[in-house]
Chains A and B, each alone.
Chain A
Amino acid sequence: MAAATAVTESAPALAPAATPPSFGAFALRWYRLNHDRLRATAIAVLSLAAFLIVWHLLTTYRVVFFVRFTNVPSPLAVYASFAKAIHDPKFLMHIVLSCRRIFIGFSLAAIVGVPLGLIMGRFKLVHEVIFPVAEVLRPIPAIAWVPMAIMLWPTNEQSIVFITFLGSFFPILLNTLHGMSLVDPVLVRAAQCLGARERAIFGEVYFPASLPHIFTGLTIGMGVAWVSLIAAEMISGQYGIGYFTWEAYSLVQYPDIALGMIAIGVLGLGSSLLIRGAGHLVMPWRSK
């Protein structure tokens, strides 16, 4: 309250002045306007630092308190193995292959799931035919599909992409369908009495009105795609970051386990940021 008053009071004093305000005043105003964001960033940095310190202490003193930190690698050991892995083409290949599987599986799920959801939302018969099958298959976790996928597809690579596809397909389909069911009928009427026919109503009203939910589906789908991919790679893979992590355990390369986990986390975060960025680009009316 006090800060807000101070800003409004100082504004008329600064604005009419022909000379630019001093750097100090400018910095002060910038600080006041961005105070909340700066605070959040500072706390985030401190929180991460605290996490690293606790991790370091637990592993250095090999704490055993219900859980055993005896064999858990320390942050420094993980960093050392990261420094080595970054120059190792094999490690990079694991990452590239996982990303490729995500890209293909997720893209296929989006290319099939979004149009199917839109059509199911618009045409009752398609909904009535497809929905029961989708409802039966949906609760089966993607991991449970692994044996079936290996039987279905001729190569290991195809079955892993298939698992990734399945994981992201259902959230994308169901959220698109949900978005379609929430389209305001008044907007459809408004379009109709402006001369819009079926195709235009679909493209100009139903699709953009469903976009926010489509992107919710894509975000959730991307998360589930990574979960499914890592599980599939651990079970049946020969390459990929999930396989790398599991192999590290088998080969008693403990720092690599944590490195694999962190790499998975960073990749998952990066891909969901990509989706969010795409959402802002596609829906400019939603951004502040």
Chain B
Amino acid sequence: MSEIQKPAPRGHIEVKDFALSYETIDGSVEAVTNTHIHVNPGEFVSIVGPSGCGKSTFLNTVAGFLKPSTGTITVDGELVTSPSAERGMVFQQYSLFPWKTVRENVEFGLKMRGMPRSQRERAARTLLGLAGLEAFEKHYPEKLSGGMKQRVGIVRALATGPKVLLLDEPFGALDAQTRVIMQQILTNMWQRLKISVLFVTHDIDEAIFLSDRVYCMTARPGSIKAEIPIPLERPRQQAMMMSSEFLALRRGLMSLIREESLKAMGGELNDLGMQGLNIELQGHSLADVL
């Protein structure tokens, strides 16, 4: 805000009293309610929650695509009101421009900033080199595998030097093996860049492996149920996923999420008129089996 605060570390996200609702014929429906989160500069924070809990909606609001019904979102003290290149975003559906080559995709943000062609070409080549994609700079996205597409997506979001990186289930569409490799690549990249990251996923292992802190969201309407620090040492390696420390964290998060998933499913089952199942759910018998 003021000149004095400028040298402070970049990328501090602060969300206060956040709620988001939308209007239907039956009145206003709350998607996310009473949510407070923060991401410290250079911190990797994940949000996990059952499907449909509003975590993606929440991330879209942080990106500036939606407006909160109540509350405020600030990045380094500045109120978020619209999308900006300061908040880079990576989408689950890759969202590369099919009519642009890999390099042109990476250049896009720099072009929007008015950087001259030769300069942005050089910048894009350097970035693609770091991601091991320089051989594919002239390819169109259609020719790439899912993992490669998402690497381009991440490089493109980082090219403009954003304050924070927002990722919306970026590896959700990848097969299990590729996903593990992409997690390792992302954690290595983050280790080098030390950029603030807000990462949305429903994959508990992924959240623990990548994050410094994990927020667990409740079923709809979503709100923060718990905040779990992940004290695993850095740099992270895949082998750590077998450690007792990791597994303990996993068990804790699992039970939190399962409760919420059952709540979410219970509601749906009820809607379908499957009362028998619902009674079992309330008696926790199904929960115990699962």
A189-B83, A285-B142 known; A194+B109 contact, CB < 8 A: yes
The number of residues on chain B lying at the interface, defined by a beta carbon within 8 Å of a beta carbon of chain A, is 27
A189 to B156: give the CA distance in the assembly, Å. Answer: 14
Once A and B bind, how many residue pairs between them come within 8 Å at the CB atom? 66
A211 and B93 contacting across the interface, CB-CB below 8 Å: no
A212 vs chain B, min Cβ distance (A): 10
A195 to B156: give the CA distance in the assembly, Å. Answer: 12
Enumerate chain A residues within 8 angstroms of B157, measured Cβ to Cβ: 193-194
Confirm or deny: A205 has a beta carbon within 8 angstroms of a beta carbon on chain B.
yes
A205 and B97 contacting across the interface, CB-CB below 8 Å: yes
Q: Which of B84-92, B179-187, B188-196 contacts A (4 or more CB under 8 A)?
A: B84-92
- Nearest-CB residue, chain A, relative to B82: A192
A187 and B85 contacting across the interface, CB-CB below 8 Å: no
A190 and B99 contacting across the interface, CB-CB below 8 Å: no
CB contact between A193 and one of B87, B93, B140, B142 (< 8 Å): that residue = B87
A208 and B63 contacting across the interface, CB-CB below 8 Å: no
- Nearest-CB residue, chain A, relative to B166: A193
Confirm or deny: B215 has a beta carbon within 8 angstroms of a beta carbon on chain A.
no
Q: Flag A276-288 by CB within 8 Å of B: 1 or 0 each.
A: 0000000111000
Q: Flag A204-243 by CB within 8 Å of B: 1 or 0 each.
A: 1100110100000000000000000000000000000000
- Residue of A191, A194, A204, A283 contacting most chain B CB atoms (<10 Å): A194
A265 to B13: give the CA distance in the assembly, Å. Answer: 66
CB contact between A192 and one of B65, B93, B97, B140 (< 8 Å): that residue = B65
Enumerate chain B residues within 8 angstroms of A184, measured Cβ to Cβ: 93, 95
Q: Flag B143-161 by CB within 8 Å of A: 1 or 0 each.
A: 0000000000000110010
A204 to B108: give the CA distance in the assembly, Å. Answer: 9
B153 vs chain A, min Cβ distance (A): 8
A285 and B83 contacting across the interface, CB-CB below 8 Å: no
B140 and A285 contacting across the interface, CB-CB below 8 Å: yes
Q: Flag A155-191 by CB within 8 Å of B: 1 or 0 each.
A: 0000000000000000000000000000010110111
A194 to B65: give the CA distance in the assembly, Å. Answer: 13
Enumerate chain B residues within 8 angstroms of A194, measured Cβ to Cβ: 85, 88, 108-109, 112, 156-157, 160
A193 and B88 contacting across the interface, CB-CB below 8 Å: yes
B99 and A193 contacting across the interface, CB-CB below 8 Å: no
- Nearest-CB residue, chain B, relative to A190: B95
A211 to B97: give the CA distance in the assembly, Å. Answer: 13
- Nearest-CB residue, chain A, relative to B156: A194
Enumerate chain A residues within 8 angstroms of B85, measured Cβ to Cβ: 193-195
- Nearest-CB residue, chain A, relative to B91: A186
Confirm or deny: A200 has a beta carbon within 8 angstroms of a beta carbon on chain B.
yes
Confirm or deny: B64 has a beta carbon within 8 angstroms of a beta carbon on chain A.
yes
B84 and A204 contacting across the interface, CB-CB below 8 Å: no
- Nearest-CB residue, chain A, relative to B113: A195
Enumerate chain A residues within 8 angstroms of B82, measured Cβ to Cβ: 192
- Nearest-CB residue, chain A, relative to B88: A193
A-B contacts, 29 of them at CB < 8 A, read A184-B95, A187-B95, A187-B97, A189-B63, A189-B89, A189-B95, A190-B89, A190-B96, A190-B97, A191-B97, A191-B108, A192-B64, A192-B65, A192-B83, A193-B84, A194-B108, A194-B112, A194-B156, A194-B157, A195-B85, A195-B112, A200-B112, A204-B97, A204-B108, A205-B97, A209-B99, A283-B99, A284-B140, A285-B142
* For the complex of A and B, 5 pairs with smallest distance between CB atoms: A195-B85, A194-B109, A192-B83, A195-B112, A208-B99
B interface residue numbers (CB < 8 A to A): 63-65, 82-85, 87-89, 91, 93, 95-100, 108-109, 112-113, 140, 142, 156-157, 160
- Extra contacts besides A189-B63, A191-B97 (4): CB < 8 Å: A193-B157, A195-B113, A285-B98, A285-B99
A interface residue numbers (CB < 8 A to B): 184, 186-187, 189-197, 200, 204-205, 208-209, 211, 283-285
